[in-house]
Structure 1
Amino acid sequence: MTHRISLRPGDHHFEAADDQTVLEAALAAGLLLPHSCRDGACGACKGKVLEGEVDLKPHSVGALTDAERSEGYTLFCCARPLGDLVVQARNVSRADDIPVRKLPARVQRLQRLADDVMLIDLKLPASEPFQFRAGQYIDILLADGQRRSFSIANAPHDASHLELHVRRIDGGRFTAHVFETMKEKEILRFEGPLGSFWLREDSARPIVMVAGGTGFAPIKGIIEHALHAGLQRPVTLYWGARTRAGLYMDELARGWEAALPGFRYVPVLSDEPWDGRQGLVHQAVLDDFADLAQHEVYACGAPAMIDVARRSFCAERGLAEDAFFADAFTFAQPTN
């Protein structure tokens, strides 16, 4: 049985099967809703059910509170329609201009950026052009059907390869392979591009970027795209890490201040004393900006950081809900 879903803003309509989530059905119809983790952890796909009912599968309480549920909000990645729906999303765009594809890629370079961060440089097949927007991610397809998601850390004008920043996870099967046994020339298969995290170039608003750990990867891709495109908007980047080693491309980020007009870089450490900014990265933004009403924010990192940044920036600094763009990094649970 299928259900008709009407999407606001705009006059979009699509069909969803009983076993499809609202997000899955929208993507299948070529409509791109804000999303990131796709498993109820980050809250990026949060929207409102205006008419109808959904079956909401288990999710993080931080991504959707009981109070929000009582107000009609849901997570589109976890919500299956129980009938026809009218729903409201923060942003809606068409996704059919860049196709999602499955392709092979060859590992052409491995570089240890920190003790627990590895750069993987993937060479794409010359006969299979791959398009993406700066900030999107891919899924590495494992032999047993599992997937591992990684943001693309380079800009699309240099599309002969993909740069990934992989953090080692205790008990992580794929990341253990990356750090212990992966070799150059190994072939990986991936699907992409995925996600709705990219620079909105039709806006003139000043930009605040917030990265936590390897959340720097998609931010790097966006900034390199901005450099290539000659972006004139003011950009402030806050990069948070526990220790100085976590700022694994600090020199590169500092170099952007000279290369991109109006760019400012603010590194923030939470666990190591130093002569720079200390504390939580979202708090550094709150300390520096009394008003974010005229800004756009692009945030990438752990779901808890994304959640507190969204809530505090919107509630305490006047940031518009539809001016907060996020990509939350979640990790697959270790398997035996």
Structure 2
Amino acid sequence: FGGRLGLADEREDTKATHQPWQRAAGDVAAADDQYPFHRSIISRTMSHRISLQPGNHSFEADDDQTVLEAALAAGLLLPHGCRDGACGACKGRVLEGEVEHGEHSPGALSEAERAEGLALFCCAKPLGDVMVQARSVTRAGDIQVKKLPCRVQKLERLAEDVMRIELKLPSSENFAFRAGQYIDILLADGQRRSFSIANAPHDARHLELHVRRIDGGRFTGHVFETMMEKEILRFEGPLGSFFLREDSARPIVLVAGGTGFAPIKGIVEHAIRLGLQRPITLYWGARRRDGLYLDALARAWEEVLPGLRYVPVLSDEAWAGRGGLVHQAVLEDFADLSAHEVYVCGAPAMVDAARASFHSERGLPEDAFFADAFTFAQPSAR
């Protein structure tokens, strides 16, 4: 270039500058340059040993580092989604030692679960050496998290408050991601905004984001008011463990709320590319009809992918289709989810309601529920 698998809405920015592990590493490096003999002292006073099951993994975590951040820095991928305590995807058990739980949604981790030794690894920080257990642990493998520049290739308003951004990546870079993941847009002052990737991985030279305008939102205000084609942005990704599990044979239920449709779109387009034969039921919930901003596309998928059924749901507008809350439509249609795999993306309240009801009322196994919840960034001062 010359001169983020997001989420779909501008999330609350809980990463004020860099990731804590990056900040800590930079501090140690600076101290080492000026006072080499302090390096071992700094390392001793800042790190804790984390033992991770399954797999008998072991790695260090700094004082200001969460379990998830330390695992990712060690090249280990744990289940996770929002990274701000909203979705519950990273929930695991503390087997030995203690953690500081940090701020999180009560729906993602209840007091009873905390008392049982459960924690959200995206916001839990070790208070000493700990042993923890995640639902699954995999190596990062061939998909690397990168920081890259990109160019705004196209801006398209899909609804009054939804903009599609098409980003073009450098031709010299190989960027890979899984269907449903997200990226972080890196702002000039070090803050981040997270957006889901709305296209499938086979077209990784371009990234599609769906951005909802938030009143007072700093980045979304720029997108809708001043962003121009050919503008250069920087991003980090891919991020998150919300992605299609291709090695499963379970029927799939996809649940999107608002612009939570973005990663679901990437998953469906990837399924089409693969010629996936698994039954898929897609529910897309919005308040009004204009909230289903790509309704025609979703309806067209039923013709392209055998076994896919699309169910739009409106909560605040009378129409001929389904009404009410989107997760309730799933409950009405499925008496038993014990053999299914469910992917949910949207506001934390919807994700919490879906998780609780699908598990307790429809028998969905905990390891078959994948979620990505978004919150809004704090409005900028005017």
TM-score range, shorter chain: over 0.9
Please say if 1:33 is aligned against 2:78: yes
The CA distance in 1 between the partners of 2:244 and 2:87, in whole Å, is 19
Please say if 1:90 is aligned against 2:135: yes
Q: Percent identity?
A: 80
Q: Please tell me whether the aligned partners of residues 100 and 191 of structure 1 are also in contact (alpha carbons under 8 angstroms).
A: yes
AA in 2 matched with 1:50: L
The Cα shift of 1:63 comes to 2.1
Give the one of 244, 267, 271 matched to 1:226.
Answer: 271
Please say if 1:285 is aligned against 2:285: no
User: Between Structure 1 and Structure 2, whose CA radius of gyration is higher?
Assistant: 2
The Cα shift of 1:41 comes to 2.4
Q: Please tell me whether the aligned partners of residues 116 and 167 of structure 1 are also in contact (alpha carbons under 8 angstroms).
A: yes
- Which shifted more, 8-17 or 194-203? 8-17
Q: Please tell me whether the aligned partners of residues 91 and 322 of structure 1 are also in contact (alpha carbons under 8 angstroms).
A: no
AA in 2 matched with 1:154: N
Give the one of 367, 371, 374 matched to 1:322.
Answer: 367
The CA distance in 2 between the partners of 1:292 and 1:36, in whole Å, is 22
The Cα shift of 1:10 comes to 3.0
Match of 1:105 in 2: 150
AA in 2 matched with 1:335: S
Give the one of 184, 189, 208 matched to 2:229.
Answer: 184
Which 5+ residue runs of structure 2 have no aligned equivalent?
A: 1-43
Give the one of 81, 91, 96 matched to 2:126.
Answer: 81
Q: Please tell me whether the aligned partners of residues 42 and 63 of structure 1 are also in contact (alpha carbons under 8 angstroms).
A: yes
Q: Please tell me whether the aligned partners of residues 90 and 321 of structure 1 are also in contact (alpha carbons under 8 angstroms).
A: no
The CA distance in 2 between the partners of 1:89 and 1:183, in whole Å, is 43
Match of 1:63 in 2: 108
1:185-264 correspondence to structure 2 within 5 Å: 185-264=230-309
The CA distance in 2 between the partners of 1:189 and 1:4, in whole Å, is 33
The Cα shift of 1:304 comes to 1.1
Structure with greater strand percent: 1
The CA distance in 1 between the partners of 2:353 and 2:136, in whole Å, is 20
Describe the superposition over 1:270-293 as per-residue Cα deviations: whole angstroms up to 9, x where unpaired: 000000000000000011001000
The CA distance in 2 between the partners of 1:308 and 1:46, in whole Å, is 16
The CA distance in 2 between the partners of 1:247 and 1:237, in whole Å, is 13
The CA distance in 2 between the partners of 1:201 and 1:41, in whole Å, is 25
AA in 2 matched with 1:251: A
Describe the superposition over 1:187-233 as per-residue Cα deviations: whole angstroms up to 9, x where unpaired: 11111111111111111000000000000000100111111111110
Give the one of 304, 311, 336 matched to 1:266.
Answer: 311
- Which shifted more, 55-64 or 130-139? 55-64
The CA distance in 1 between the partners of 2:348 and 2:78, in whole Å, is 18
TM-score by length of 2: 0.86
Please say if 1:294 is aligned against 2:313: no
Match of 1:140 in 2: 185
1:14-29 correspondence to structure 2 within 5 Å: 14-29=59-74
Q: Please tell me whether the aligned partners of residues 86 and 374 of structure 2 are also in contact (alpha carbons under 8 angstroms).
A: no
TM-score by length of 1: 0.97
> Could you say what secondary structure the match of 1:166 adopts?
strand
The CA distance in 2 between the partners of 1:8 and 1:194, in whole Å, is 22
The Cα shift of 1:114 comes to 0.5
The CA distance in 1 between the partners of 2:166 and 2:221, in whole Å, is 17
Q: Could you list the runs of 4 or more consecutive aligned residues of structure 1 that deviate by over 3 angstroms after TM superposition?
A: none
The CA distance in 1 between the partners of 2:130 and 2:353, in whole Å, is 29
> Could you say what secondary structure the match of 1:331 adopts?
coil
Cα RMSD over matched residues? 1.1
